[in-house]
Chains A and B, each alone.
Chain A
Amino acid sequence: MSKVSINKLKKQFGDAVALEDFSLEIADGELVAFLGPSGCGKTTTLRMIAGFIEPTAGSIHIGETDVTNLPVHKRNTGMVFQRYALFPHMTVAQNVSFGLEMHNVSGKERDSRIATALDMVRMTSFRDRYPRQLSGGQQQRVAIARALAIQPKVFLLDEPLSNLDAKLRVEVREEIRSLQQNLGLTTVFVTHDQEEALAISDRMAIMYNGRVQQIGSPKELYDSPSNHFVADFLGRMSFFKGNLVANGRFVSEAGTNIQVASGQKVGRIGIRPERINVGAHPESDNVFDGWVESAAYLGSLIDIRLRLQGGDILNLHVPNNASSANTAIAPGSPLVASFRSSDCVLFAE
């Protein structure tokens, strides 16, 4: 495996800029997820690493080699596609064998590598089946085995789980992560599913409109989003636009007074729904009365929109645990909510 260095990568389709100023160092054995809404440039970037798209400017290094102008078949990356992309006219074993043949691996060596790859994804007993005889999850496992059998320098996954149903998605996701860690694979994982990205990655890059918004560990991104887009995209957050009137005191446009940690230039603050308590919690220096505007029962929690006196909306999650299970939360009922000033995230704009 090798590290990947992407330097000031740019891609333009005609006048439309698909990606701009993308720089990233992926360490040997690291899994980086590209996360963003469709059209943000994440797939474009992945396809440039694989070589399917030629960058307009910038460079890509795999290890010490500059691959920016290298054709796809010479890059030695292992890619897994959204729709599996197995060869329908070949058996499972033949699919895995194809890449090895292209790399001139033959005889016993090839047989043993096919066996190892299939064993890795627990598909050994299916080696003589054709792709159409397999379920989606099995097909994707074969695709993973096929990509890894050639011992690629980089492992690339383009929304590999989006065609699978919810349970299977988690299962294959965990398999990918454990394979990646056991084999020490340098991996790029493209997804639009934030839970997937949070669960699987060492670091993630949040992209929007062809630009990276923030790169960091899942915890960094979730707890300390650097801008409004990242905060809004990742998880849920209630936002208040307004100004600091004194150090540590923020007033929203609707007139809500909120205690915050000290900050310099603040134009907006946010608070995660799970950081808000029902009732006046002793450690909370922000306590508000409000009316439940809507309550959605989501099983493990109840998602509440609370209207404050000035008209601001606070979004909070009440866990469905023993103490709250009997509390009737109906639209229109009054509710007291509280949170700590240190849990507020401050944004410049």
Chain B
Amino acid sequence: MMGYSFNHFDPMDLMVETFTLENYVKFFSDEYYRKVFISTLGVAALCTVFALVLGFPVAYFLAKTQSRYKSLFIVLLVFPLMVGNVVRAAGWMVILGNVGVVNATLMWLGITDEPIKFMYTPFAVIVGTTAVVMPYMILTLQSVLEGIDFSVEEAAQNLGATFATTFRRVVLPIAAPGVAAGTMLVFILCMNAYATPVLLGGTGLTMMAPSLYDQIAKASNWPFGAAMALVLIVTTLLLATLSNWLIHRNYVKTMGA
């Protein structure tokens, strides 16, 4: 694929073997593709943040609960993963569509007279993608939080720390490597999301994966598609490595085994 990305595209011959950087130049100089690239990064970052913020309390609850329904909760959490992304996106369509559940409720309550356009907006993509990646985030965090000896939190409270202080000064720093791992995993998943952006974003928001798929499958422009794929992979890898390095620098010296 790397080789393909340096080839030349010809509308008649499709792919002409050569060595050229024109695909990369085109990608970074064309405003449309730059926008696709930036919005992919933005959506991925937002979804990761939302998944972290929403997922942390759930993971904390799951890690600490003594409830006998704990395994049931976890099954419920994993259940969406058994349903394909397409089916789940279809579910969001039913909820977010112009005659969907949300709009119907809002209109019934008299909050709005006309349906609000949720579908095919960045909002829909962010909601859908966050929902897709949430179980991964929660499960990663839960396993890390479960590893923290609960008596460490009790010790902090015993020494005079409130719940909030205990969380900020004890739980969070200890959980940091796990938080980072979950964040990285989810960010990678978001960067490479395909079905959800296609179905919920439509033409309103284009992300890298759908866009490069179009290049390869519809425009038959393999060289350019390959270049996009490589940009996507390299960016994801770079960011992952960077965050990994940051974590190692800040935590591994104290948390290593």
Contact = CB atoms under 8 A, between A and B. Distances in A.
B159 A98 contact: yes
Interface in A17-35: none
Interface string A17-57: 00000000000000000000000000000000010100000
Given A73-B162, A102-B161, A132-B257, A85 B152 contact: yes
B174 interface: yes
A81 interface: yes
A143 B152 CA distance: 11
A89 B173 contact: yes
Contact of A73 (B157, B169, B254, B256): B157
A72 B154 contact: yes
Nearest to B153: A85
Interface in A68-100: 71-79, 81-83, 85-90, 98-99
B157 A85 contact: no
Report the interface size class on chain A.
20 to 34
A88 B170 CA distance: 9
Contacts of A291: none
Contact of B155 (A71, A81, A103, A130): A81
Contacts of B157: 52, 71-73
B67 interface: no
Interface in B240-257: 251, 254-257
A157 interface: no
B156 interface: yes
A71 B174 CA distance: 24
Contacts of B257: 132
A99 B174 contact: no
A81 B254 CA distance: 22
Nearest to B253: A130
Given A77-B158, A87-B156, A98 B169 contact: yes
A88 B156 contact: no
A78 B174 CA distance: 22
Given A73-B162, A102-B165, A103-B160, A85 B173 contact: no
Contact of B158 (A50, A83, A86, A89): A50
A147 B170 CA distance: 16
Contact of A87 (B158, B160, B170): B170
Contact of A81 (B151, B165, B169, B173): B151
Contacts of A150: 159-160
Interface of A: 50, 52, 71-79, 81-83, 85-90, 98-99, 102-103, 130, 132, 143, 146-147, 150
A98 B158 CA distance: 11
B151 A85 contact: yes
Interface in B206-257: 251, 254-257
B151 A83 contact: yes
Contacts of B255: 88-89
B149 interface: yes
Given A73-B157, A85-B149, 7 more contacts: A72-B154, A72-B157, A82-B151, A86-B152, A89-B173, A102-B165, A132-B256
6 contacts: A73-B158, A79-B154, A83-B151, A85-B155, A87-B174, A147-B158
B186 to A, nearest CB: 24
Contacts of B256: 132
- 3 cross-chain pairs, A with B, having the tightest CB-CB distances, nearest first: A102-B160, A99-B159, A85-B151
Contacts of A71: 157
Contacts of B159: 73, 98-99, 102, 146-147, 150
Contacts of B169: 98
B161 A73 contact: yes
A87 B152 contact: yes
A140 to B, nearest CB: 12
A109 to B, nearest CB: 16
A180 B66 CA distance: 36
Given A89-B174, A102-B165, A130 B158 contact: no
A132 B251 CA distance: 14
Contacts of A83: 149, 151
A241 B195 CA distance: 79
Contacts of B160: 73-74, 76, 99, 102-103, 150
A88 B158 contact: no
Contacts of B162: 73
A52 B154 CA distance: 8
B156 A89 contact: no
